[in-house]
Amino acid sequence: MREIAAQFEKPVLLFSGGKDSIVLVHLAVKAFYPARIPFPLLHIDTGHNFQETLDYRDELVERTGAKLYVGSVQASIDKGRATEEMGIGASRNKLQTVTLLDTLEELKADAAIGGGRRDEEKARAKERFFSHRDAFGQWDPKNQRPELWNLFNGKKNMGEHFRVFPISNWTEMDVWQYILMENIPMPSLYYTHKRRVFMRDGIWLAEAPFMELKDGEEIVELDVRCRTIGDISCTGLNLSTADNLEDIVKEVAASRVTERGGRSDDKRSEAAMEDRKKEGYF
Amino acid sequence: MDSKAYLDMSLLRFTTAGSVDDGKSTLIGRLLYDSKSIFEDQLLAIEETSKRKGQEEVDLSLLTDGLRAEREQGITIDVAYRYFATPLRKFIIADTPGHIQYTRNMVTGASTANLAIILVDARNGVLEQTLRHTFIASLLNIPHVVFCINKMDLVGYKKETYDTIKKELEQLVVKLNLRDARFIPISAKYGDNVVDPSEHMDWYNGTTLLHLLETIEINHDLNMTDGRFPVQYVIRPQQKDHHDYRGYAGRIASGIFKPGDKVKVLPSELTTEIKAIDFYREEIDEAQPSQSITLRLTHEIDISRGGMIVHQGNEPTISNNFTLDICWFNEKPLDLSKKYLLRHTTNELKCIIKEVNYRTNIVTYEKDFADKNIKMNEIANITLVTAKPIFYDSYRKNRTTGSVILIDEGTNETVAAGMIN
């Protein structure tokens, strides 16, 4: 965190309301204490967020005194910068990339801090802490700089920026244990709650006005919780009655499926994440 | 296991070196698989891919190949990090390719490793790549090296074969002056001596690889003697409630710091004492290597990022002219006429390469004074002159204050990694 603040002029912290970005904010608060976090938070709002996510975000901003910018995917669609996907299985996940790159440019941000971890997914296993993105915001695996010892090279030319992933080496278990140890308040979605859901391709998805149902898909009300949080359109919910952090940790430890195994945006193809990153995604 | 115990678990970072045919990826896959660290959906994914590729058994090496190009070619191109844990310890594996054209990747993975696993195919014995891999482990000062003599199943699990190879490796250990070397006969494919003891090698009395990884002592590898604190960031809130607060934030490179310690500030060489050590909202009594803390000093001394706080009486070398071993990373060869940027701890300054002293042959370990044209993946010894003096220790004594990277000013690329003599 301190290295980022020292090497870049206008870093922003990408905040999604998910556990990884929540941990990042907590780490930033600790890193600069007693001063405030010297960079703002940026939330890319798809318009398809769970309401709980938005509420949590606003409360966090107030609690930490951090500055918040919101990039709106709906606004990008309205401006004609992005095209809405239609039909069954449509999602605004990919559209986020356009909004993200446009907003970063507007803010003249030279570094975007994200909560990506290497253990999350195959394409992230090779990601650097300081990941260079070219003038088009794109990631070229062949251009990434070697990172030795604790020395990070954040040098860049005009128009280029970096994505930085401070918790690259943390596993899902590490994140939850840290949350537990530091007693960080979490969005209610992570805890068990009753929700109207339907099953599609082996995953429970949440009911929402913009979610089209296929024939045969039925809505039921179940006790569920999220293990990872994305848009409503691509976040799988797990059947669970875990209502406190200790139980969540036990569930994670006993789990047989990776955290992102419940994300339909990764399932689209084997190299889904890699392709999205090449375009400029997180 | 409770939360506190999990976070107190020590962390072992290790590299795995071996060529594509040595079974290194199979070994990693086996460690992850047998320690139950791979998830159901990951296993399903590789089972499907193995079937599609027409393989009969689950190809565990598929667990570690991430990028599209690699999956198509079947080899690893970059450093891949894998994470797993057993009840005793957490692990990070830096999996690096074994071909000579990826020496720079090996160097990268090795830089933060506590331990190196070097694979030797029992059918072939010590090969050129074994010499290379061991050299890199030695150059990067990795505290522990474990030689795994693999594919014992293909040599009938014979003790004589293992002993012959072990003897040759022991000579290597002496030649390179390795700090700590171990030897284990294994079969990654069938699991012998990887996680569970082998049923086919009664003559072997040592531990399994995983048990060694779980129990090897790494505390003693930290430098607790030489107090070095590079200043990373200056915290000055200048807010109403913290009006006069001035803290020097950073990560302890080595040594132990306590409030009251008499210290010297570099480069000014002014002396003072540590008033307090802040860790978020608490003041702590002692700070150890790798901890990120904030120091407050008794006197108001002007220090900025790049400065260093050290103990009086135990100080680093201060100089702008020194020699170091480097690994050249860039496609463009070393150019004596160019100006480079040096990054050393939190410092960044211009430098020039005054001279190439010799090139090191990483197979014979000989010094080549004739061919001084340093190309990508080559190791050389050079003399560097920096714009201002830096405060360093030899790399053999201190991996943090003895390491540097060189950056090309024009392209911003990291062109070399260096270890100060």
pLDDT in tens, A53-80: 999 999 999 999 999 999 998 888 888 8
Higher pLDDT, B31 or A60: A60
Q: Are residues A160 and A55 in the same domain?
A: yes
pLDDT the model gives residue A25: 97
**Measured between CB atoms, does A146 come within 8 Å of chain B?**
yes
Are the beta carbons of B341 and B351 closer than 8 angstroms? Answer: yes
How high is the mean pLDDT of chain B?
A: 89
3-state secondary structure (DSSP) of residue B292: strand
* Mutation site for B-interface testing, chosen from A143, A151, A167 by largest number of B Cβ within 10 Å: A151
Q: How confident is the model at residue B420 (pLDDT cuts 50, 70, 90)?
A: very high
Q: Residue A193: in which H helix or E strand, if any?
A: strand A193-200
Chain B contacts in chain A segment 175-214 (CB below 8 A): 177-178, 180-181
A83/A191 same-domain check: no
* CA neighbor of B381 nearest in space, from B333, B419, B338, B341: B419
State the count of interchain CB pairs (< 8 A) between A and B: 139
Cα(B121)–Cα(B187) distance, integer angstroms: 10
Mean pLDDT of B46-52: 72
Number of domains in chain A: 2
Pair (A198, A217) in one structural domain: yes
Structural domain for A41, as ranges:
2-173+270-279
Q: Chain-centre distance of CA B175, in angstroms?
A: 21
Query: Same structural domain for residues A191 and A112?
Result: no
On whether both A155 and A222 belong to a single domain, the answer is: no
Cβ distance B405 to A246 less than 8 Å, yes or no, reads no
Residues of B in contact with A153 (CB under 8 A): 343, 405, 407, 412, 414
Q: With respect to residue A239, please indicate whether it lies within any of the assigned structural domains.
A: yes
Residue A162 lies in a domain: yes
Running DSSP on this structure, what letter comes out for residue A279? H
How far is residue A215's CA from residue A89's CA, in Å, rounded to a whole number?
13
Q: Is A251 exposed, middle or buried (0-12, 13-18, 19+ CB in 10 A)?
A: middle
Closest residue in B to A250 (Cα) is B1
In order, the DSSP letters of B329-354 are --SSPP-TT-EEEEEETTEEEEEEEE
Per-residue pLDDT tens digits for B205-253: 999 999 999 999 998 888 999 999 999 999 999 877 777 899 999 999 9
Within 8 A of A146 by CB-CB distance, chain B residues are 104-105, 107-108, 329, 414, 417
Inter-chain residue contact B108 with A119, CB threshold 8 Å: no
| Pick from B49, B66, B417: CB nearest A148 | B417
Instruction: Name every chain A residue with its beta carbon within 8 A of the beta carbon of B236.
Output: 35
CATH number reported for the structural domain that contains residue A55 in this entry: 3.40.50.620
Residue B74: is its pLDDT beyond 60? no
Same domain, yes or no: A108 and A243: no
Contacts of B111 in chain A (CB under 8 A): 148-149
Same domain, A20 and A143: yes
Assess whether pLDDT exceeds 50 at residue B73. Answer: no
* Strand ranges for B280-378 from DSSP E: 282-284, 292-297, 308-311, 317-328, 339-344, 347-360, 367-368
Q: How far is CA A225 from the centre of its chain?
A: 17
User: Is the same domain home to A81 and A194?
Assistant: no
Contacts of B252 in chain A (CB under 8 A): none
Burial of B185 from C-beta contacts in 10 A (0-12 / 13-18 / 19+): buried
Q: Is A3 on the interface with B (CB under 8 A)?
A: yes
Whether residues A275 and A200 fall in one domain? no
Domains and CATH numbers, chain B: 7-221 (3.40.50.300), 228-311 (2.40.30.10), 317-420 (2.40.30.10)
Lowest mean pLDDT among A182-186, B79-83, B152-156: B79-83
List chain A residues with pLDDT less than 70: 122-123, 141-143, 256-282
Q: Is residue A179 a part of any domain in this protein?
A: no
Average pLDDT, integer, range B30-56: 72
Residue of B nearest to A29 (CA): B280
Q: What is the pTM of this model?
A: 0.89
Q: What is the pLDDT of residue A282?
A: 63
Q: Do B68 and A271 touch (CB under 8 A)?
A: yes
Contact across the interface for A181 and B3, Cβ inside 8 Å: yes
Residues from chain B contacting residue A28 (CB–CB below 8 Å): none
Does A34 reside within a domain? yes
Average of pLDDT values for B265-288? 96
A-chain residues near B233 (CB < 8 A): 2-3, 5-6, 32
Cβ atoms within 10 Å of A238's Cβ, excluding its own: 19
- Are B3 and A156 in contact (CB < 8 Å)? no
Ranking B25-29, B332-336, B354-358 by mean pLDDT, the lowest is: B25-29
Any domain includes A134: yes
Contacts of B79 in chain A (CB under 8 A): 126
Residues A231 and A155 in one domain: no
CB contact under 8 A, B280 and A155: no
Q: Is the dihedral of CA A183, A5, A230, A126 positive or negative?
A: negative
| Structure confidence at residue A230 (pLDDT) | 79
d(CA B87, nearest CA chain A) in Å:
11
Residue A180 lies in a domain: no
Question: Considering the domain boundaries, does residue A178 fall inside one?
Answer: no
Is A2's CB within 8 Å of B233's CB? yes
Same domain? For A70 and A206 the reply is: no
* One domain, residues A93 and A207: no
